[in-house]
Structure 1
Amino acid sequence: MPIFVAGDQAALHYDESGDGRTLVVLAGGAGRHPSYLGDLGGLPGHLVIPHLRGVGETPGPALSYWQQANDLEDLRKHLGLRQLDVVAHSAGTRLAMAHAAQYPLSVGSMLLITPPSTHLTDTPSDAAEITAHRRGEPAYDAAVAAFGHRPANQLEFEAWQARTAPATYAVWTERERTHSQVGQTDLETVQAYFGVDPPPDFPQQLGKTQARVRVIAGAQDYSTGLAPVLAAARLFAHGEALVIEDCGHYPWIEQPLAFRRAADPFVR
């Protein structure tokens, strides 16, 4: 497994696969092992998938997403790239945007997949409305009820993830159940990742980047809502949003063909 050395001399690991244009792929979770990404439905390109601080083969201590923007910049230099083309999912989009805000000239494009965005915009979540048709499904109702609980330790956190998973997909079949169990997440890593208050002008900083930005939203994504995700695309000077129907938080799993139609032209 390749490594690169960050500015503080820490050795950070990454996976790579495929050929063509280099795409740096950031997993969500936060801090979830990137194995849950698979090959993103066969996304074309040379995929470079870092193991973030405290995740997988990269040792801790874990750091906030704002601090790990420096790691992303060090990875860009290690790869010998003038600019990064980033593909990020869920909480990984926070890291992608933190890097774009701190190093705006180092980013060529960002494909942001189902980014949680209520911290960036004043648009309230419409999650309850867009998933109202699922009320009465026992697994969905239990998942929604569990979202309000805050686990206190790793054991509780793992149980919480299992309980909330059904609401993060548009449907809950064997396919979704199997995927939800891939990729371990550590509670301490999550807490460190979110343990930062970004500058109050973070949204305005994002508006200054000249990177091309495409946001992919799931029309039935309970974990993010739809309206805030669409509003996030409008923060960028060159931002656009595409909505995938009958889809929750994992488009490459739930609607792989629609995901590739949305993603392929952009990353190419």
Structure 2
Amino acid sequence: MPHLRGVGQSPQPRVDEAGSFWRQAEDLERLREDLGLDRLLLVGHSAGTRLAIAYATQFPQRLSGMVLITPPAGYLVDTPSDTVELIARRRGEPRFDEAIAASDAGPDLTSDDAFNTWHQRTAPLGYAAWGPAEQAHATIGRWSAAAAKAYFSVEPPGDLVARIGTLAAPVLVIAGANDCLTGLAPVKALATRFPAGRAEVIAECGHYPWLEQPGAFRRAIDAFLDQWGSADKARPAKS
């Protein structure tokens, strides 16, 4: 798992554009070369799916397959979001209602501490239930306001959807049936943009399926990997 620019052991870029999801596709390509791999199987979650898609559309000949886990898809599909309906089902839960209010107020980017406090307040939105396991998971790690700003500093090209439509590699899109962050309908629609794409919806699940429904998540991943492995062995290597 690479540490993206400004995160973990990777330093903050000197200019924001270098830390954008679009430009960091070049970092993945250099990593592929350094590892001596002919092609990459990419797995991305949430905002990380932007980087996975950026790589796939800039280096399509180097992509052997891709798994997009609860991807925000509004920038790629015309399907209206159904987050309002999903949120309405949870109204009345005090901690959830507090998270909605914080989300509506927007993030505080004045400092890392303020940014992380906002994420903690909005955390219940990401889970289908707010139990002990979810509460513990929500405290893991810290967010970097500067890295987040840089990550979204470059708009993707206007022909990105058209590029997606030319990808030959198999793509699995995993959606949480109760994901109040991305919605369900746009995520399912994204799978149809890929010629070899398919969607897997996990019931009673929000934005983090490996935590909330690990058994169903593992079954979806394993089935895809079995299919991908057979197809990849049959595909000739590219020089």
TM-score by structure 1 length? 0.80
Distance 2:113 2:66 in 1: 35
Which residue matches 1:234? 192
CA offsets 1:224-244 (integer angstroms, 9 cap, x no match): 000110111111010000000
The equivalent position to 1:192 in structure 2, one of 150, 157, 160, is 150
Distance 2:96 2:191 in 1: 28
The equivalent position to 2:8 in structure 1, one of 34, 56, 67, is 56
SS of residue matched to 1:216:
strand
Which residue matches 1:65? 21
C-alpha deviation, 1:129, in angstroms: 0.9
Distance 2:99 2:81 in 1: 17
Higher helix fraction (1 or 2): 2
> Which runs of 5 or more structure 1 residues have no equivalent in the other structure?
1-48
Distance 1:164 1:267 in 2: 33
Distance 2:201 2:40 in 1: 24
Which residue matches 1:134? 90
How do 1:100-111 residues align onto structure 2 when only pairs under 5 Å count?
Answer: 100-111=56-67
Distance 2:89 2:189 in 1: 23
Instruction: Please state if 1:161 is matched with 2:122.
Output: no
SS of residue matched to 2:219:
helix
Counterpart AA for 1:147: S
The equivalent position to 2:205 in structure 1, one of 241, 247, 263, is 247
Which residue matches 1:152? 109
Which residue matches 2:47? 91
Counterpart AA for 1:151: D
C-alpha deviation, 1:132, in angstroms: 2.3
The equivalent position to 2:72 in structure 1, one of 112, 116, 128, is 116
SS of residue matched to 1:146:
helix
Higher strand fraction (1 or 2): 1
SS of residue matched to 2:22:
helix
CA offsets 1:113-144 (integer angstroms, 9 cap, x no match): 00000011111210121232211001111111
SS of residue matched to 1:65:
coil
Instruction: Please state if 1:173 is matched with 2:131.
Output: yes
C-alpha deviation, 1:150, in angstroms: 3.0
- Matched residue count: 220
Distance 2:190 2:116 in 1: 29
C-alpha deviation, 1:207, in angstroms: 1.0
Distance 2:103 2:158 in 1: 27
SS of residue matched to 1:66:
coil
Which residue matches 1:206? 164
SS of residue matched to 1:215:
strand
> Which runs of 5 or more structure 2 residues have no equivalent in the other structure?
227-239
TM-score by structure 2 length? 0.90
The equivalent position to 2:140 in structure 1, one of 165, 182, 185, is 182
Which residue matches 1:261? 219
Distance 2:207 2:138 in 1: 11
Counterpart AA for 1:150: P
Which residue matches 1:13? none
Counterpart AA for 1:57: Q
CA RMSD of aligned residues (A): 1.0
Counterpart AA for 1:137: E
